[in-house]
Amino acid sequence: MKANYLTSQCKIMKVYYMNIKWIMHVVELMQPCNTEYPGFMYDTSIRETNSIIKCGRCQKMFVLQQVPNSNLVMLVVQADCDCSRQYAPITLAPRECNRMKSQKIRRRPESCHAYHPHENAKDCGGACGIAVSLTLYFICLATSLALH
């Protein structure tokens, strides 16, 4: 009986390792593509700013304001001036790209920026409320003792 138990355990482990090998192969194939996008740097010490953009014969006024207790900014632009002739439209159509296998996988950033001092961690999740079911524990214990 003991030898049969070990043989079945080896078969289970073989299937387990085959599945892990397949998953690792799929993960290697699905690497993200490198993309190029315009960006900007925002100084967090500036709570609000406004200015005027000259556009041909007219001007557009804009206001940029930081949203309190978040990492968001709100941009409001006066829309009564048409600048479409001077600036080309920005399209956000998706473009496919192929990543070469010889390229390295992207590294994680040096530091995490997902924290805000006014954020309350108690509002997120409820993992602390999870408790062990004693009934389920004793059923598993009784079943285990009955099988041996």
- Work out the pLDDT band at 2, boundaries 50, 70, 90: very low
| Interior angle at CA 87, CA 77 and CA 59, nearest 5 | 45
| Cβ within 8 Å of residue 59, ≥6 positions away | 52, 53, 81
Q: Is the pTM of this model over 0.75?
A: no
Instruction: Yes or no: say if 65 and 73 are a contact pair by the CB < 8 Å rule.
Output: yes
Instruction: Output phi, psi for 75, to 5 deg.
Output: -115, 125
3-class SS letters over the chain:
CHHHHHHHHHHHHHHHHHHHHHHHHHHHHCCCCCCCCCCCCCCCCCCEEEEEEEECCEEEEEEEEECCCCCCEEEEECCCCCCCCCCCCCCCCCCCCCCCCCCCCCCCCCCCCCCCCCCCHHHCCCHHHCCCCHHHHHHHHHHHHHHC
pLDDT at 100: 57
Residue 1, pLDDT above cutoff 50: no
pLDDT at 102: 56
For residue range 115-124, what is the model confidence (pLDDT) as tens digits?
677 777 666 6
pLDDT at 131: 72
Higher pLDDT: 141 or 12? It is 141
For residue range 69-108, what is the model confidence (pLDDT) as tens digits?
887 888 888 777 776 666 677 777 776 666 655 566 677 7
Q: Give the least confident one: 19-28, 72-81, 104-113, 132-141.
A: 19-28
For residue range 104-117, what is the model confidence (pLDDT) as tens digits?
667 777 777 676 77
Instruction: Yes or no: say if 116 and 123 are a contact pair by the CB < 8 Å rule.
Output: no
| Cβ within 8 Å of residue 71, ≥6 positions away | 113, 116
For residue range 34-64, what is the model confidence (pLDDT) as tens digits?
555 555 666 777 788 888 877 777 788 888 8
pLDDT at 142: 92
